[in-house]
């Protein structure tokens, strides 16, 4: 399949590579020359702009960091909307349901279909092809791209209205963010009381408190103090903010979301937007006066 791919960052690059390895022909675009060079070396065609991508292929996939960036690429000046060939836009980014609906309406004026397809599973999942791929859009267009999306992981069709997959992604990432925040407080409390954090995680993983932070993130990045899972604090904060805003817009209770949002706002302010999201524990450690790490 001929596919355009825009956004070759931490998540986009391994997904684009998997498409090439699966035999798809790519036309790529990124604002950074160093990002596109490896793909050109693998045989991908280089485009000069999003519109140039959309002039060449019917299906364009994007993996971008911010809703405003997605909007600019899709419907802004020099964007996909103005392409001569494009028929569908597959958005792997996390934009929120309202932005997805806005972009879908804009593209719809030129009979371009938007397929929302945010993913979950992190950089490791993108490399291995084990992502959860959440999809919403017209079924006929989903059928057209489903085989391509399946190289990223397991495809879940969650609905057909614009934004439904975005809502699914926000619910998922809110739970992930909550697990990290809550586990950080719980383990810091235990360490302050004299418990070994490694033993704590073992016990939790054998009991009812088990979650993605205790099974994966704490053993891999927090207790070893590497903080290197490859997802920026600013991106997690963006997702929690979007989830909180969506809950408010829908009139859904959001007390827990509000508390979790405060934790991530603090992490972003104190650790920096580019810090790995696993550093969310560090402001909590600082206030408690302890460090969570392997016992010597």
E-only strand ranges, 111-214:
113-116, 119-120, 131-136, 153-159
* C-alpha distance from residue 95 to each of 58, 103, 220 (Å): 22, 10, 28
| CB-based burial, 102-113: b 16+ in 10 Å, e otherwise | bbbebbeeeebb
Query: Which residues are CB-neighbours of 69 under 8 A, at least 6 positions away?
Result: 93
- CA proximity to 192, closest of 266, 278, 292, 295: 292
Concatenate the DSSP letters of all residues of 248-282 into one string.
HHHT---HHHHHHHHHHHHHHHHH-TTSBGGGGHH
Distance, in Å, from the CA atom of 128 to the CA atom of 60, rounded to the nearest integer, reads 22
- CA proximity to 94, closest of 66, 115, 121, 73: 66
Q: Report whether 74 contacts 81 (CB < 8 A).
A: yes
Query: Which residues are CB-neighbours of 103 under 8 A, at least 6 positions away?
Result: 70, 71, 74, 75, 89, 91, 95, 114, 162
Task: Find the catalytic residue in 72, 84, 146, 169.
Answer: 169
Concatenate the DSSP letters of all residues of 27-45 into one string.
EEE-S-HHHHHHHHHTTPE
In the residue annotation, 128 being an active-site residue is answered as no
Distance, in Å, from the CA atom of 276 to the CA atom of 36, rounded to the nearest integer, reads 24
Q: Report whether 244 contacts 173 (CB < 8 A).
A: no
**163: alpha, beta or left? (left if phi > 0; alpha if psi -120 to 50):** left
* Catalytic positions, written as ranges: 169
């Amino acid at each position: 399949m001929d596919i355009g791919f825009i956004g070759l960052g931490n998540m986009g690059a391994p997904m684009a590579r998997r498409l090439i390895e699966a035999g798809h022909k790519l036309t790529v675009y990124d604002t950074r020359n160093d990002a596109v060079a490896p793909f050109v070396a693998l045989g991908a065609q280089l485009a000069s702009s999003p519109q140039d991508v959309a002039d060449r292929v019917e299906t364009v996939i994007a993996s971008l960091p911010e809703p405003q960036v997605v909007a600019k690429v899709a419907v802004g000046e020099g964007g996909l909307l103005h392409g001569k060939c494009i028929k569908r836009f597959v958005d792997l980014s996390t934009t929120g349901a309202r932005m997805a609906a806005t972009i879908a309406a804009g593209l719809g004026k030129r009979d371009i279909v938007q397929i929302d397809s945010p993913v979950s599973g992190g950089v490791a999942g993108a490399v291995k092809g084990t992502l959860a791929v959440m999809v919403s859009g017209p079924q006929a267009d989903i059928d057209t791209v489903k085989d391509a999306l399946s190289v990223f992981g397991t495809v879940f069709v969650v609905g057909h209205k614009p934004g439904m997959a975005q809502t699914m992604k926000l619910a998922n990432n809110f739970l992930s963010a909550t697990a990290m925040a809550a586990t950080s407080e719980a383990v810091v409390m235990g360490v302050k009381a004299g418990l070994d954090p490694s033993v704590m995680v073992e016990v939790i993983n054998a009991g009812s408190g088990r979650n993605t932070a205790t099974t994966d993130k704490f053993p891999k990045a927090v207790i070893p103090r590497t903080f290197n899972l490859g997802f920026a604090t600013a991106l997690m904060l963006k997702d929690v903010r979007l989830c909180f805003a969506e809950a408010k817009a829908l009139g859904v209770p959001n007390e827990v979301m509000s508390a979790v949002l405060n934790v991530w706002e603090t992490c972003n302010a104190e650790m920096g937007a580019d810090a790995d999201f696993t550093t969310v524990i560090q402001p909590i450690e600082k206030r408690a006066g302890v460090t969570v790490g392997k016992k010597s």
